[in-house]
Homo-oligomer: A and B are copies of this chain.
Amino acid sequence: MKGSKNKRPRLWGGRFGAGMAESVEAFTSSIAVDARLCRQDIAGSIAHARMLARQRIIPAREARRIVRALEAIQKEIESGGFSFSSKDEDIHMNIERRLIRKLGAVGEKLHTARSRNDQVALDMRLYLREEIRSIIGALGGLRRELARTAKRYLTVIMPGYTHLQRAQPVLLSHHLLAYVEMLERDRERLEGCIQRVDVLPLGSGALAGTTFPIDRAYVARLLHFPRVSKNSIDAVSDRDFVLEFLSASAILFVHLSRLAEDMILWSSEEFGFIELPDRYCTGSSMMPQKKNPDVLELIRGKSGRVFGHLQALLTVMKGLPLAYNRDLQEDKPPLFDTVDTVTASLAMMREVVREIKVKKERMLAAVKDGFMNATDLADYLVRRGVSFRSAHAVVGRMVRFCIQKGRRLEELSLRELRGFSPKIEKDVYDYLTLDGAIQRRRAIGGTALANVRRRLKEIGA
């Protein structure tokens, strides 16, 4: 029978009449995935051992030996000298096994007053806290790069789009700063998330707490947790903090995918607004002339991965009875891959934004077509006493006329213009200039240069 020759007894095997089937071992082992938590696992165990000693649950001398041995194991792992085994299921058992091999019965004391249920919750929180901080840093990097690019092309005018149709002229810098606002919200959400990550679960035991007189506040201090979980059943069942991070990442990827889409469009021959340097493009195996914005397409595509991971964990958690269930092991693949995807994509996007070369003249040419001063003309009429709806209708008819004649609004003579509305005077032409269209939009948030300048200053760029 398969697996029956499994010689190495489980650390929890006392109650069992037979070893684990090999197929079960392979199916349930998570070490290939959670080995990534080794540093956190050791840090958590060190803090736990110190607390056990301080509370006289184990002798101080033994705790010191445990701490030293754990530090040695950490070094073994770093140096590649540690061999992880799927026989030992997960990172916790791998390290505990090694510890026991080093220290014998003393090593067997580490797991006093602890369960893997609170241990893995601790590891995950230590890990995610660190990663979110690093992602917040990367977000800042991308925001600064966007701001720097905005400054570099501060006065470049481009068509603003709605429905992918040219709508009104805007500053390219204003457009780029729209993404800065989005990323700022992403930062806020991640800061909120950290607050809920930053809670010590250790001490919750398997689900009910522990019978030993542990000092959770002390462990929290050692591991820099501002808060301690208040309910042991909740603490071992809870993966909200992962779900919240995945949600925040999904929203962040909405932003990255939109920025990627904008730049893919702008890189097309049809738009021709920007160029990416050769070093940031890839070619075709078949077509010798191709130069493709693959990195942007990949960033856009990776939104799928992140949305999928969020859905995955929501599905896992749905309808699970309390407290811990093994389904929770499925939290790690989506979390780890999301962390990697977010981190790599932010870094890559930052480089791309840094490297784009803006073709101002193409943007300027584009902005002259498309009757993008039509709103300004309507607004002019309003200033001359026409109601907005009438002004809108009048200008609509002018546009129709121009399309039929192949002309632009600013090319119509005053006489022609007055044929549409007698309220129009000579000063109308001031309202049809590009610069005017930008500068008049001065209210907070509008595309006027002064606004963009102020905002750049506010965000420290």
Contact = CB atoms under 8 A, between A and B. Distances in A.
A143 interface: no
Number of copies: 4
A320 interface: yes
A170 B213 contact: no
Interface string A1-34: 0011000001111111111110110111000000
Interface string A287-305: 1111111110110111111
Contacts of A192: 188-189, 192
A440 B308 contact: no
Interface secondary structure of A, over-half rule: helix
Contacts of A232: 174, 441, 445-447
Interface in A189-231: 189, 192, 195-196, 203-217, 228-231
A279 B233 contact: no
A134 interface: no
B208 A27 contact: no
A151 to B, nearest CB: 15
Contact of A270 (B270, B298, B374): B270
A4 B355 CA distance: 14
A460 interface: no
Interface size on A, as a range, is 35 or more
Contact of A178 (B28, B105, B233, B258): B233
Given A170-B208, A323-B161, A182 B18 contact: no
A390 to B, nearest CB: 6
A183 to B, nearest CB: 10
Q: Give the top 6 A-B pairs by smallest Cβ distance, nearest first.
A: A14-B396, A209-B446, A308-B312, A301-B327, A12-B283, A108-B389
Contact of A288 (B159, B195, B392): B392
Contacts of A152: none
B396 A12 contact: yes
A417 to B, nearest CB: 14
A297 B325 contact: yes
